Amino acid sequence: MVTSIAASMAVAKGIVVVISAGNEGNVPDWPYVWSPADGIGVIAAGAVNSQGIRNSFSSIGPTADNRIKPDVMAMGSAVIAADPRNSTGTVSLLGTSLSAPIVAGICALMLEKIPALTPANVLTALTETASQAGAPNNLMGYGIANAAEAASYFESIQIPSRFAIYPSSINPPLTRTTFFIDMPETAMVSVSIFNPLGQQVGTIEEQVVAGTKRPLLWNWPSYLANGVYFARFRSPTKEGIQKTIVLR
């Protein structure tokens, strides 16, 4: 499906994509997850009730290429939400359209704590900390998502004291790229941005403290076209290059 291809492309560009698994669990001829929940790298959210039991309407897997779906589960029935017809009221709703925003909120917590996480990192944290991580299936995926554990999953990772360039983050916002760099010594670091023709289009220069994972922000000028660019990192003793993307 076109939407699955588009969602997969977004993931490949570094965007975390969370999609409702679908509400076709009770449909005899098509109980499977809907498009684009079957996209490569897309996080498909299924629905459970307040007792942690899968809602029968929640779509199941596997995908056509035999990947486990859904990925994780969240509350999808008796979910209290704002009433669109009443500015001060609430309503009780159901569906995987309710569980997906809950999972997306967990992803946002992870990215707020560690903006350099890739979509694959986020999916790993979600699935490795879910309620049935050790025994996933095509009814509930890896189980019910655990916000606290997923958000802290990568906290114990030690940042090496060496010159290191980490994956750039463009999610969100899409008009800004965050580069992360680690240095063995405190030094000024310059980041030069080049287009595919080798023309320099911008520069960042900041001091990086030894042993810290320092974010360097680059706000893309509006006149630069979408596409692939290259960032050259230079310190007094080290140099490195990383590909990055501008996507608005």
Torsion from C-alpha of 132, 137, 138, 141, nearest 10 degrees: 20
Cβ contact 230:241 at 8 Å: yes
- Does residue 36 have a cis peptide bond before it, meaning omega lies within 30 degrees of 0? yes
C-alpha to C-alpha distance for 140 and 191, rounded to whole angstroms: 44
Task: Give the bridge partners for 206, in sequence order.
Answer: 189
Q: Is residue 194 helix, strand or coil?
A: strand
| Structural domains of the chain sorted by starting position, each given as residue range(s) with its CATH number in brackets | 2-151 (3.40.50.200), 164-246 (2.60.40.1930)
pTM for the predicted model, two decimal places: 0.64
pLDDT 10s digits, 10-58 = 888 888 999 999 999 999 888 889 899 998 889 999 999 999 999 999 9
pLDDT of residue 168: 61
Burial class (CB within 10 angstroms; exposed 0-12, middle 13-18, buried 19+) of 202? middle
Tell me how crowded residue 50 is: count the other CB atoms within 10 A of its CB: 9
Cβ contact 21:46 at 8 Å: yes
Burial class (CB within 10 angstroms; exposed 0-12, middle 13-18, buried 19+) of 179? buried
Cβ contact 73:145 at 8 Å: yes
Listed as ranges, residues in the chain with pLDDT below 70 are 156-176, 184, 209-214, 247-248
